[in-house]
Structure 1
């Protein structure tokens, strides 16, 4: 795990709200690895193509971010995580 990657506690809170993997016929790359790649790119501001290989293919990371932005997945995740936090106080 790299600096700035999701911690185990953060992942436990986030994981139930993610879409099921493999809906497009193939096996999806691990959500956690892809999300860590997205967070790395947002944090550093590097071009997608310069994403370190530990996050997998830059195209996969970019496409998942683009798809989830377009279909409202990120908004649903944010709403769900905020609701969970409100319930926990």
Structure 2
């Protein structure tokens, strides 16, 4: 999602972006998250789903050889 696509109820996207950037840099965002998690202890259930089919990988990321294979026949 792009910053410019935020719903209007959050206010101007530049304000939201700047606040996010500053709060991430000074640790405010992390402290807020910790407080919310502490207040909701036992009520938060994390469900994580990763779909690797949407992550393109370069052909060499699949374990391609970095050196040519050794010769099976010696030429001596």
TM-score category, normalised to shorter length: 0.3 to 0.5
Higher relative contact order (CA 8 A, sep 6+): 1
- The alignment's TM-score, normalised by the length of structure 2, stands at 0.43
Higher helix proportion = 1
